Structure 1
Amino acid sequence: MRTNLERQLAAVRNLGILAHVDAGKTTVTERILYATGTTHKRGEVHDGTTVTDFDPQERDRGITIFSAAVSCDWDGHRLNLIDTPGHVDFADEVERALRVLDGAVAVFDAVAGVEPQSESVWRQADRHGVPRIAFVNKLDRAGADLDAAVASIRERLHPTPLVVQLPIGAEESFTGVVDLVQLRALVWADGEDTAVSGEVPAGLLAEALRRRRLLEEAVAERHPAALEEFCERETVSAPTLVAALRDMTRGGDGVVVLCGSAYRNRGIEPLLDAVVAYLPSPLDVPAVRGAAVAGGRQPGREAPEGGAVMRDVLSVELAPSAGALTVDADLTETRPADPSAPFSALVFKVAVTPTGRLTYLRIYSGTVEKGDVVWDAVAGRAERVGRILRVQADRHVQVERAVAGDIVAVVGVKSARTGATLCAPDAPLVLEPPGVAEPVVSVAVEACRGTQTGRLASALARLAEEDPSLAVRTDPETGQTVLSGMGELHLEVAVEKIRSALGVDVNIGRPRVTYRETVGRGVSGVVYRHVKQDGGAGQFAQVVLEVEPYEGEFVFRSAVVGGRVPQEYVRAVEAGCRDALAEGPLGGHRVTGLRVTLTDGATHVKDSSEQAFRTAGRFGLREALRACAMLLLEPVAEVTVTVPEAVVGAVLGELAARRGRVTGSEVRSGSAVVTASVPLAELFGYAGRLRGRTQGRGTFTARPTGYAVAPASVVAGGVQDRRCVTAVGR
């Protein structure tokens, strides 16, 4: 028998709404809030009256920029909902949300099907193992086709789609759905908020029975209990079907597909029922796993200096590329979703508001109450929780305590950053933080008036605190302050926030992209001797290095035999080589894609030290790179352009002029969809150019896909223009 607390946890659903931009994700969220009685008026994106898109920039632009959390109740269950951005520039917001969610609803446009960012967020959910159900939206649009949308889900995302509804009517005459599980019709009359349940229309009964049979067969193929019943009775009952769909969804063996029109409020109640029936509760997901902290803070002990706890996490390193913890499995610890277990929570968002600093938490275990002292296991310091807030987008309801499974915001935690772990002081734990993508576009920023320089520095620090995918640095050559982000729109939003919300007038330089350097042809036998004598103990270190191309980012190995270089000095050589990666010989860009082997070396009895070998590693690798055949890499993006068929030729010519390589094209509902790989640097200003070429009817999306070797003309420009080094990641 479950305890009362377990029953409460079983009634919680932590889910996100994922979609490509303009698929109707925010409208779905607004209709959910309206259907659950959380709001009493339907918010509209085009009117700027939505609950979750509350930021002035979101309302002006008509898109979601920042993830927003809301809570609502449905059928005795509490739904903690996060509405996520759909634009690729804000994919890091989605990443942080997915890290703390137990399930998700993926929204697809019934006309467009799977779009580029739909695919990206789906892959992100795959990486985090988040179960999903799919909602095919906008069935009332001209050209809407549920079967075509489902086919695109199957072909591009490769799940097993389990369609549980059949539309009643098409396009403008779409009025409801047939529930294939219960074999009933749900019809929404014009102006009505709730569906009327009834018999399946006679004209759709045969098709409904056929599709129900296909659903039964698909489920029986993959679920033992459904297969057993199907073999015995040649059918699967509704309760068995629901249980099988629940197991398949939570196990990742299938994706339940529903349909509707959120704008016309059709299909939302069945979607909520599906969330409750199929998506997992905190009790249904595996216990959270983290790195056990050796020698953590005990009650009554003084807090160590910042970072001391992280130094005590044995065999735990912060991966520089993804920001994720790589943990030795022997030192990990699990925490169940139990309110009586030691407290542990992950910080997934920080917002600095005029009324204070809000720290958003997903609580994985234990209980936290107002006034409690918690331990920041990453910073290594104690924090006091002043208030606990149940979040309703930009509005909050104060509560006295929060338990495992909750998503809340707390006030009073002053220094915890995104990705930090808050835990019980006497039971420290470090949870894996969400990954942080590397910035690819940069602009120089400066205050218009010298008197505002200090305010600009504070504003940039606040931006970087709220959004880890923004990086701020100073160009060592020009002295300029450089802001780096995930794309033009990302930087536009950040600069506008500096101007409007933070009250600083700024000038910005033209955007520049992040270049990289890599090894095209390696070298071996590069000898570097570091000798320094200036009185007293000297410095001596000799290293022999071999450099070769590598498919990953960087790997270091030692082939030294006979103990000619002690192990502690080998580690110092590796650290020096990593230091040398910051600036390559072509244009000072970061170096990636190489393997360095320490093949030999020499030491001095008195003058050798770790510092000497680190210096030798740094300068030795720089010398080796100058001897290598180096290649300049530029970031490229997959661009999907949707235009009227009549102007396809002009669009192809424009893409070719921007060094684009067309990879595919198709026709959808009278529009041509062209996919191409284009250097990111060539996309600046493309939006305006496309609108001009298509009389405002063309749209495009761009998704960064990695780096490619740049042509000679770009290499020459990259070498001459040292300012592009400011775009290099942190």
Structure 2
Amino acid sequence: MTRQDKIRNISVIAHVDHGKTTLTDSLLARAGVISMDQAGDKCAMDTRKDEQLKGITIKSTAISLYYEVDPAIVRPLKQSADAEGGDNDSYIVNLIDSPGHVDFSSEVTAALRVTDGAMVVVDSISGVCVQTETVLRQALAERIKPVLMVNKLDRCIFELQLDHEELYTKLRSTIDNVNVILSTYSDGDEAMGDTTLDPSKGNVAFGSGLQRWGFNLRTFARFYASKFKTDEEKFMRRLWGDHFYNQQLKKWNTTGGEGYVRGFNKFVLEPLYKILQILHAQDKKEVFEYTEKIGVRLSLEEKELEGKALTKTVMMKWLPVGDAMLEMILVHLPSPVQAQRYRTDLLYEGPKDDLAAIGMKECNPEGPLMVYISKMVPTTDKGRFLAFGRVFSGTVTSGLKVRIMGPQYEPGKTTDLFIRNLQRAVILMGGSIAHISTIPAGNVVALSGIDKFLVKSGTITTYEHAHNMKVMKFSVSPVVRVAVDVVKPADLPKLVEGLQRLAKSDPMVQCTFDSGEHIVAGAGELHLEICLKDLEEEHACVPIKKSEPVVSYKETVSAKSDQQCLAKSGNKHFRIWTTAEPLPDDFTNDIEMGKVTPAQDAKERARYMADNYDFDAHEARKIWKSKIRLSQDSKWATQEGVLCEENMRGVRFNLEDIKVHPDPAHRKGAQVIPATRRSLFAAVLTAQPRIVEPVYLVDVQVPQTAMGGVFNVLSRRRGLIFEETQSTGMPMFNIKAYMPVNESFGFVEELRGQTGGQAFPQCVFDHWQLLPGNPLDVSSRAGSVVTEIRQRKGLSATVPSLENYLDKL
């Protein structure tokens, strides 16, 4: 742990059901954590009962693995300019297995923040799916370097029965699709260097997690280089792409022709197909002859095995998937020393040359302590949590006096700041923990005793002038909400305490008290189902009742106010005139993605707004400049809008004029805040107010025969289909559509009913769109939504008229 060049912090990321946890088993078995016989079947990283029952990962799970490796495996690393000295060929891989279901994307974000590399798993049959793209986009946003594992190759060979060239074409298409995503989202970010995936470089592996075999091209290049007495690197380059070999002439060319066979097909697929077909035919005599030829030694007990057990054993001995993945991870993913050089600028909010930033860039164990906590992990001690994160600088020791800074902390202030001694540090080992007295920079860590001071995430430091590390940006939004209540009124205190624990336990879930109701908001139906189950069984431990799920809407405006809206304070000494108008959609998205923030330099932000969105540069420099607490006063209005007390989105308020009494006694908050709020509400009502609703991107994989059922269900649910593509070499189609979140409840069940269970849908939050109709007209769709929300919140049935907010001169 003290040798940072020997550490790899990695996440395993993929679409749901592409085989992450199954493959991770082989890495655990390679490190001796589980037996080789259990790999692929045990799913050891699924530590929760519901994960084992549903067969999907729900929470990201961390484990630290120690490996001693063959020096030949890491030889390319020692030859590279970046590698550090030392003959010790032992490594630590801090691995986080993350969920693939879109509802748990926030767990992926929390995992990526504390790692430097990602092993992306893609199912060779399904190829790149919607969540593959989502997790890759998240990884690149955090400057995480990817390697690729193409899984389930056995199904291409036996189920689809592809020949050599068809399989090569399918694999090349999958890798090309991943590279298109990488080039799209890493555009302009040169800090990481080249992220292109290329099997001939060794950063792509192929295999079958379930059958425990796998390889990268170096596996075969190493074998043939010694056999043919040729250069390993040169031979490896010929095993991918347009390199063709003529067995008779013993010659290579790049154009093919009669007698020439593609290098990948000849030297990789030919022996692979042959042994799999022999094992499939179960001709033991031929199996043992071939295993001798390829150098696989079987014990007497292993020779007695039959069927799948024999196949797994032979293939695992010949091409162990754990070795193929481990080589890729060690050689092609960066150590903390390399990664923190280019990740620090992205992660640290403070000056790039202060002690904290320098300590992080150098990954210096002697520097000031800088730890980022990305999530809270429940412990066996009821109601307590371990704060899981990464040591970017300094060394964590028990009893160390630290500054615990929450997301609201601002340098020089005491808000969201606590100064405490660390109780103890541990490292997570799947479902258990290991006690370590000191944990230096470059490692992941779990801290006990600080869960009282942080809700979900934060920064821990010993440096008095340290700034926060950037808050994580999630790819999903908590747009589905339910109201929860207790069955017995006496259990209410337990529910409140349980909700506080639930908020800690999940990076995304939001627990609020709104209009007399306790609200739990999640990313989708499954996310909410898991959260509510945890609330009832783990956190509150009392029976609860819940409402039907409802959707979060937002309020906006669609035109510029047709008048200036005046509001006066109760004592008439404070007067404010405002107007409202819509912000450009792309600009609103930039704010949500953190490209435009209040913390930015005002001139830099104004230039960006003027160049990209035609803002008047003089006006743009005035944003967030008001020092009369107006931004704080307007917060109340923007968090609870005039239509139905939902958040506002994409609204620009113009402060046209203001009159303030010179005596501070006459301009206190009690006078300023209500007047400001009324003026802003009036401005919205004069700017053609509208409601915006959240929209899912729906990706459905379905055979051609069942496509009609998909179209029927989507059309009934206001779905807009915008793309239909056929999977390469398969009768499966990918249908992409936009569907309002409000229409998504029961969608999966109805779709499976209409298609006989043949359709596989995935819904991910994509964007906000205007709900048709005028919300002030109760007969329109928007009007009925506003009425329904107001009734649910116990407000008057109709939106108060403009006269209620406007004052006369």
**What TM-score, normalized to structure 1?**
0.77
Where do residues 157-168 of structure 1 align in structure 2 (5 Å cutoff)?
157-158=182-183, 160-164=196-200
User: Which digits, 9 at most, give the CA deviation of each residue in 1:408-456, with x for residues without a partner?
Assistant: 2122324233321111265644222323554100011111222322211
Select between 688-697 and 352-361 the one with higher mean Cα deviation.
352-361
Of Structure 1 and Structure 2, the greater strand share is in 1
CA apart distance, 1:174: 11
Provide the C-alpha distance between the structure 1 equivalents of 2:53 and 2:537, rounded to a whole number of angstroms: 13
2:637 to 557, 576, 580: 580
Which residue in the other structure is 2:661 paired with? 604
Contact persistence 2:207–2:321 (CA under 8 A): no
1:702 to 763, 767, 784: 763
Residues 341 and 701 of structure 1: is their aligned pair in 2 closer, same or farther, counting only changes over 3 Å?
Answer: same
- Sequence identity (%): 26
Which residue in the other structure is 1:354 paired with? 380
1:147 to 164, 172, 193: 172
Which residue in the other structure is 1:222 paired with? none
Which residue in the other structure is 1:37 paired with? 32
Q: Cα RMSD (Å) of the superposition?
A: 3.7
Which residue in the other structure is 2:358 paired with? 334
**Partner-residue secondary structure (3-state), 2:337:** coil
Q: Does 1:270 align with 2:324?
A: yes
1:280 to 334, 349, 352: 334
User: Which digits, 9 at most, give the CA deviation of each residue in 1:311-338, with x for residues without a partner?
Assistant: xxxxxxxxxxxxx986566878432311
1:589 to 646, 652, 655: 646
Residues 594 and 725 of structure 1: is their aligned pair in 2 closer, same or farther, counting only changes over 3 Å?
Answer: farther
Which residue in the other structure is 1:515 paired with? 553
2:789 to 706, 722, 727: 722
CA apart distance, 1:672: 2.4
Where do residues 218-233 of structure 1 align in structure 2 (5 Å cutoff)?
none
1:627 to 679, 686, 711: 686
Contact persistence 1:569–1:609 (CA under 8 A): no
2:455 to 417, 440, 459: 417
Contact persistence 2:9–2:115 (CA under 8 A): yes
Residues 596 and 697 of structure 1: is their aligned pair in 2 closer, same or farther, counting only changes over 3 Å?
Answer: same
**Partner-residue secondary structure (3-state), 2:93:** strand
CA apart distance, 1:498: 2.0
Which residue in the other structure is 2:509 paired with? 470
**Partner-residue secondary structure (3-state), 1:628:** coil
CA apart distance, 1:509: 1.1
Residues 544 and 710 of structure 1: is their aligned pair in 2 closer, same or farther, counting only changes over 3 Å?
Answer: closer
User: Which digits, 9 at most, give the CA deviation of each residue in 1:256-297, with x for residues without a partner?
Assistant: xxxxx9997553312201111111111112358889xxxxxx
**Partner-residue secondary structure (3-state), 1:637:** strand
Contact persistence 1:96–1:435 (CA under 8 A): no
Matched letter for residue 49 of structure 2: P
Provide the C-alpha distance between the structure 1 equivalents of 2:495 and 2:48, rounded to a whole number of angstroms: 21
Q: Does 1:441 align with 2:477?
A: no
Residues 11 and 206 of structure 1: is their aligned pair in 2 closer, same or farther, counting only changes over 3 Å?
Answer: closer
Contact persistence 2:558–2:689 (CA under 8 A): yes
Which residue in the other structure is 1:246 paired with? none
Provide the C-alpha distance between the structure 1 equivalents of 2:660 and 2:458, rounded to a whole number of angstroms: 41
**Partner-residue secondary structure (3-state), 2:698:** strand
**Partner-residue secondary structure (3-state), 1:523:** coil
Where do residues 524-603 of structure 1 align in structure 2 (5 Å cutoff)?
525-533=563-571, 539-551=573-585, 552-553=587-588, 571-603=628-660
Provide the C-alpha distance between the structure 2 equivalents of 1:423 and 1:31, rounded to a whole number of angstroms: 37
**Partner-residue secondary structure (3-state), 1:532:** coil
Residues 621 and 262 of structure 1: is their aligned pair in 2 closer, same or farther, counting only changes over 3 Å?
Answer: farther
CA apart distance, 1:138: 0.9
CA apart distance, 1:571: 4.2
Provide the C-alpha distance between the structure 2 equivalents of 1:175 and 1:393, rounded to a whole number of angstroms: 23
Matched letter for residue 781 of structure 2: V
Matched letter for residue 139 of structure 1: L
Matched letter for residue 719 of structure 2: G
**Partner-residue secondary structure (3-state), 1:37:** coil
Contact persistence 2:558–2:687 (CA under 8 A): yes
Residues 609 and 698 of structure 1: is their aligned pair in 2 closer, same or farther, counting only changes over 3 Å?
Answer: same
Select between 329-338 and 714-723 the one with higher mean Cα deviation.
329-338
Which residue in the other structure is 1:641 paired with? 700
CA apart distance, 1:99: 1.1
Provide the C-alpha distance between the structure 2 equivalents of 1:288 and 1:482, rounded to a whole number of angstroms: 40
Provide the C-alpha distance between the structure 2 equivalents of 1:500 and 1:340, rounded to a whole number of angstroms: 44
Which residue in the other structure is 1:113 paired with? 127
2:391 to 363, 382, 400: 363
Which residue in the other structure is 2:522 paired with? 485
Q: Does 1:51 align with 2:44?
A: yes
User: Which digits, 9 at most, give the CA deviation of each residue in 1:344-397, with x for residues without a partner?
Assistant: 111112123232431112111111222323221333222333322121111111
Q: Does 1:67 align with 2:60?
A: yes
Contact persistence 1:638–1:675 (CA under 8 A): yes
User: Which digits, 9 at most, give the CA deviation of each residue in 1:588-607, with x for residues without a partner?
Assistant: 32211121221222233336
CA apart distance, 1:157: 4.2
Residues 506 and 517 of structure 1: is their aligned pair in 2 closer, same or farther, counting only changes over 3 Å?
Answer: same
Gaps of 5+ in 2: 70-89, 161-166, 184-194, 244-310, 407-415, 599-605, 607-614, 774-779, 794-809
Q: Does 1:655 align with 2:693?
A: no
Which residue in the other structure is 1:687 paired with? 748
Residues 699 and 530 of structure 1: is their aligned pair in 2 closer, same or farther, counting only changes over 3 Å?
Answer: same
Provide the C-alpha distance between the structure 2 equivalents of 1:409 and 1:17, rounded to a whole number of angstroms: 19
CA apart distance, 1:101: 0.9
Provide the C-alpha distance between the structure 1 equivalents of 2:553 and 2:492, rounded to a whole number of angstroms: 29
Of Structure 1 and Structure 2, the greater helix share is in 2
**Partner-residue secondary structure (3-state), 2:92:** strand
Matched letter for residue 639 of structure 1: V
Which residue in the other structure is 2:147 paired with? 133
**Partner-residue secondary structure (3-state), 1:273:** helix
Which residue in the other structure is 2:23 paired with? 28
Provide the C-alpha distance between the structure 1 equivalents of 2:23 and 2:208, rounded to a whole number of angstroms: 20
Residues 438 and 605 of structure 1: is their aligned pair in 2 closer, same or farther, counting only changes over 3 Å?
Answer: same
Which residue in the other structure is 2:12 paired with? 17
Which residue in the other structure is 2:371 paired with? 345
Gaps of 5+ in 1: 187-196, 216-260, 292-323
Contact persistence 2:555–2:647 (CA under 8 A): yes
Residues 290 and 418 of structure 1: is their aligned pair in 2 closer, same or farther, counting only changes over 3 Å?
Answer: farther
Residues 670 and 172 of structure 1: is their aligned pair in 2 closer, same or farther, counting only changes over 3 Å?
Answer: farther
Provide the C-alpha distance between the structure 2 equivalents of 1:525 and 1:326, rounded to a whole number of angstroms: 41
**Partner-residue secondary structure (3-state), 1:501:** helix
The number of aligned residues is: 620
Provide the C-alpha distance between the structure 2 equivalents of 1:169 and 1:383, rounded to a whole number of angstroms: 49
Residues 289 and 162 of structure 1: is their aligned pair in 2 closer, same or farther, counting only changes over 3 Å?
Answer: closer
Which residue in the other structure is 2:441 paired with? 404
Matched letter for residue 505 of structure 1: P
Provide the C-alpha distance between the structure 2 equivalents of 1:510 and 1:89, rounded to a whole number of angstroms: 18
Matched letter for residue 604 of structure 1: H
Provide the C-alpha distance between the structure 1 equivalents of 2:404 and 2:45, rounded to a whole number of angstroms: 29
Which residue in the other structure is 1:257 paired with? none
Provide the C-alpha distance between the structure 2 equivalents of 1:155 and 1:262, rounded to a whole number of angstroms: 34
Provide the C-alpha distance between the structure 2 equivalents of 1:717 and 1:62, rounded to a whole number of angstroms: 40
Matched letter for residue 342 of structure 1: P
Contact persistence 1:587–1:725 (CA under 8 A): no
Provide the C-alpha distance between the structure 1 equivalents of 2:97 and 2:444, rounded to a whole number of angstroms: 13
**Partner-residue secondary structure (3-state), 1:489:** helix
Provide the C-alpha distance between the structure 2 equivalents of 1:213 and 1:530, rounded to a whole number of angstroms: 74
Provide the C-alpha distance between the structure 2 equivalents of 1:416 and 1:399, rounded to a whole number of angstroms: 22
Matched letter for residue 272 of structure 1: L
**Partner-residue secondary structure (3-state), 1:362:** strand
**Partner-residue secondary structure (3-state), 2:338:** coil
Contact persistence 1:515–1:725 (CA under 8 A): no
Provide the C-alpha distance between the structure 1 equivalents of 2:19 and 2:330, rounded to a whole number of angstroms: 21
CA apart distance, 1:608: 5.0
